[in-house]
């Protein structure tokens, strides 16, 4: 563990020096990338340096326990107990900080919510989920910008795509990817029969433009007039944009903004995020990376959670967690579920480290 800690400390100093250079100051993208790495390393290096100081103090305090003065020896023994406790706490914290971090954790997010099976009720549920994430973002002090939305015929949303930006956005929301199931009595159900519907959530780490540059020759960009419900035109100019990635056939269409340039920028941001996800999945498959954390990675086909309205119960199937006060959860009190998921993920990663944690 000591050698790994020294490597991280050396890298921290190297990044700090690079950020202070005039060359980096002239390159905003490099400054952003280095700043992200520095903020990721800072907690570990600060803890390491405190641990080192505590260990130095421990050595000098142990020497004082042999002092001829009984009062000095007594004070040293008391201080030794406090220092040993702090030493254990810091060592445990360092082990936790050494857990390999998801490099995407500090990124902003492209959040996609889509109605699944269940017709109008599925669209209503998708709308509920999207509002839940909006309220959760407010609680966390994040920025949420709607990129694209398609309403259901009976209300709610058939599809909603948004960008969520803020500290730790992906590190929290990544646990939301997957199939969400709802069990409730629809307002149109006269007999009171409970219906089961689903919605899918996809959380993609946003890719920097400099990180994932898409050659112009790989893109087909079509412009057309925005249309509203029923197909009527809502704009007199060709502001809607459809971007097609020719090598993969992946397509993104955006018509929310009146500006063609803004719609194109939004479409490209979504496309880059989807291509990044696809490439990371390919690389993991090539490595034969079969490790699946206890909480999973939220594949879209994986049913992760059930919202049961009659019993006022929400169950996360990945860790067998059940919480109540479903209305509160839908109002954005989502940390009651996300925090246990993050802890389970961390525990699984700690277990994998095994003997590597020996000091």
Domain span at residue 12 reads: 2-98
Instruction: State residue 299's pLDDT score.
Output: 46
Q: Answer whether residue 292 shows pLDDT above 70.
A: no
Closest-CA residue to 178 (of 281, 292, 339, 299): 299
Domain-embedded: residue 211:
no
More confident site: 300 or 331: 331
Say whether both 124 and 163 belong to one domain. yes
Which pLDDT band, with edges at 50, 70 and 90, does 238 fall under? low
Domain boundary, last residue among 71, 98, 125: 98
Q: Both tokens of residue 94?
A: 């360092």
Say whether both 135 and 202 belong to one domain. yes
Instruction: State residue 358's pLDDT score.
Output: 45
Helix, strand or coil, per DSSP, at residue 75 = helix
Say whether both 9 and 145 belong to one domain. no
CB 99 within 8 A of CB 349: yes
Domain-embedded: residue 257:
yes
Q: Answer whether residue 325 shows pLDDT above 60.
A: yes
Q: What is the CATH number of the domain that holds 241?
A: 3.30.160.20
What pLDDT digit, counting tens, does each position of 84-119 carry? 999 999 998 898 888 877 778 888 999 999 999 999
What pLDDT digit, counting tens, does each position of 149-204 carry? 999 988 899 999 999 999 889 999 999 999 999 999 987 776 778 999 999 999 99
What pLDDT digit, counting tens, does each position of 268-285 carry? 989 989 988 888 777 767
Say whether both 240 and 319 belong to one domain. no
Instruction: State residue 103's pLDDT score.
Output: 78
Which pLDDT band, with edges at 50, 70 and 90, does 233 fall under? very low
Instruction: State residue 260's pLDDT score.
Output: 84
3-state helix, strand, coil in the chain (%, to 5): 50, 20, 30
Instruction: State residue 261's pLDDT score.
Output: 84
**φ, ψ of residue 60 in degrees (nearest 5):** -70, -35
Instruction: State residue 190's pLDDT score.
Output: 65
Say whether both 48 and 114 belong to one domain. no
> H or E stretch including 254?
strand 250-254
Closest-CA residue to 338 (of 137, 186, 199): 137
Which pLDDT band, with edges at 50, 70 and 90, does 293 fall under? very low
Instruction: State residue 161's pLDDT score.
Output: 94
- Give the chain's domain count: 3
CB 252 within 8 A of CB 221: no
Domain-embedded: residue 104:
no
Domain-embedded: residue 50:
yes
Cα 117 from chain centroid (whole Å):
26
178-184 and 195-205 beta bridge pairing: antiparallel
Domain-embedded: residue 359:
no
Closest-CA residue to 170 (of 135, 147, 202): 202
DSSP output for 38-91: HHHHHHHHHHHHHHHHHHHHHHHHHHHTT-S-HHHHHHHHHHHHHHHHHHHHHH
Say whether both 280 and 295 belong to one domain. no
Say whether both 332 and 255 belong to one domain. no
Q: Both tokens of residue 141?
A: 């002090």
Q: Both tokens of residue 354?
A: 């095994």
Domain-embedded: residue 183:
yes
Helix, strand or coil, per DSSP, at residue 213 = coil
Our CA dihedral for 85, 88, 94, 100, rounded to 10 degrees, sits at: -130
Closest-CA residue to 59 (of 92, 83, 91, 75): 83
Instruction: State residue 232's pLDDT score.
Output: 45
Name the DSSP letter for residue 233. B
- Mean pLDDT (whole number) for 142-152: 92
What pLDDT digit, counting tens, does each position of 44-91 carry? 999 999 999 999 999 999 999 888 999 999 999 999 999 999 999 999
Say whether both 191 and 84 belong to one domain. no
Instruction: State residue 286's pLDDT score.
Output: 66
Q: What is the CATH number of the domain that holds 349?
A: 3.30.70.1660
Q: What is the CATH number of the domain that holds 29?
A: 1.20.58
- What percentage of the chain exceeds 90 in pLDDT? 54
Q: Mean pLDDT across the chain, nearest whole number?
A: 86
- What percentage of the chain exceeds 70 in pLDDT? 87
Say whether both 243 and 123 belong to one domain. no
Question: Rounded distance, CA 313 to CA 322, Å?
Answer: 7
Question: Rounded distance, CA 109 to CA 82, Å?
Answer: 43
Q: Answer whether residue 24 shows pLDDT above 90.
A: no
Domain boundary, last residue among 266, 286, 306: 286
More confident site: 342 or 359: 342
DSSP output for 281-343: HHHHHHTT-----TT----TTSEEEEEETTTTEEEETTTTEEEE-HHHHHTT-THHHHHHHHH
Q: Answer whether residue 27 shows pLDDT above 70.
A: yes
Say whether both 281 and 342 belong to one domain. no
Instruction: State residue 354's pLDDT score.
Output: 57
> H or E stretch including 182?
strand 178-184
């Amino acid at each position: 563990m000591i050698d790994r800690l020294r490597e991280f400390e050396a890298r921290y100093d190297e990044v700090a020096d690079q950020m202070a250079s005039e060359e980096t100051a002239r390159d905003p993208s490099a400054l952003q990338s280095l700043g992200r790495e520095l903020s990721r390393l800072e907690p570990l290096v600060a803890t390491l340096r405190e641990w080192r100081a505590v260990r130095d103090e421990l050595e000098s305090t142990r020497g004082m326990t042999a002092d001829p003065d009984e009062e000095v020896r007594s004070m040293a023994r008391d201080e030794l107990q406090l220092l040993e406790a702090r030493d254990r706490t810091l060592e445990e914290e360092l082990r936790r900080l050494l857990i390999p971090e998801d490099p995407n954790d500090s990124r902003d997010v492209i959040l996609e919510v889509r109605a699944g099976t269940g017709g109008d009720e599925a669209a209503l549920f998708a709308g509920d989920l999207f509002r839940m994430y909006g309220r959760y973002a407010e609680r966390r002090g994040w920025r949420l910008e709607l990129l694209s939305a398609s309403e259901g015929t009976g209300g709610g949303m058939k599809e909603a795509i948004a960008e969520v930006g803020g500290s730790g956005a992906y590190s929290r929301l990544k646990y939301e990817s997957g199939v969400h199931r709802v069990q409730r009595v629809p307002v149109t159900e006269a007999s009171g029969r409970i219906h089961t519907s689903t919605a899918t959530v996809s959380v993609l780490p946003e890719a920097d433009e400099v990180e994932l540059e898409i050659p112009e020759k790989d893109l087909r960009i079509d412009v057309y007039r925005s249309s509203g419900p029923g197909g009527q035109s809502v704009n007199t100019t060709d502001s809607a944009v459809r971007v097609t990635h020719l090598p993969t056939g992946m397509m993104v269409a955006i018509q929310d903004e009146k500006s063609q340039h803004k719609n194109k920028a939004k479409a490209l941001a979504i496309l880059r995020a989807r291509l990044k996800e696809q490439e990371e999945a390919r690389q993991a498959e090539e490595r034969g990376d079969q490790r699946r954390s206890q909480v999973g990675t939220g594949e879209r086909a994986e049913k992760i959670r059930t919202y049961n309205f009659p019993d006022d119960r929400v169950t996360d199937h990945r860790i067998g967690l059940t919480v109540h006060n479903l209305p509160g959860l839908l109002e954005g009190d989502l940390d009651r579920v996300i925090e246990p998921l993050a802890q389970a993920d961390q525990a699984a990663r700690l277990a994998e480290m095994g003997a590597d944690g020996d000091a």
